[in-house]
Amino acid sequence: MPVIDEKHPALSGDPNQLWKDELSNSRILLYELNKAIHALTKKEIRQYTINTGQDVQTVTRHDLPSLLEQRKKLLKDIKELEIELGIGEPQGAAYQVTPVW
What's the pLDDT tens digit per position in 21-51?
A: 899 999 999 999 999 999 999 888 889 999 8
Q: In b/e form, how buried is each residue of 45-58, taking b as 16+ CB within 10 angstroms?
A: eeebebeeeeeeee
pTM above 0.85, yes or no: no
Give the pLDDT band (50/70/90) at residue 73. Answer: very high
What long-range pairs does 95-98 form, CB within 8 A, spacing at least 24? none
- Which residues are bridge partners to 58 per DSSP? 49
Q: Which amino acid is at 52?
A: T
- For residue 78, CA distances in Å to 9, 29, 35, 58 come to 26, 11, 17, 24
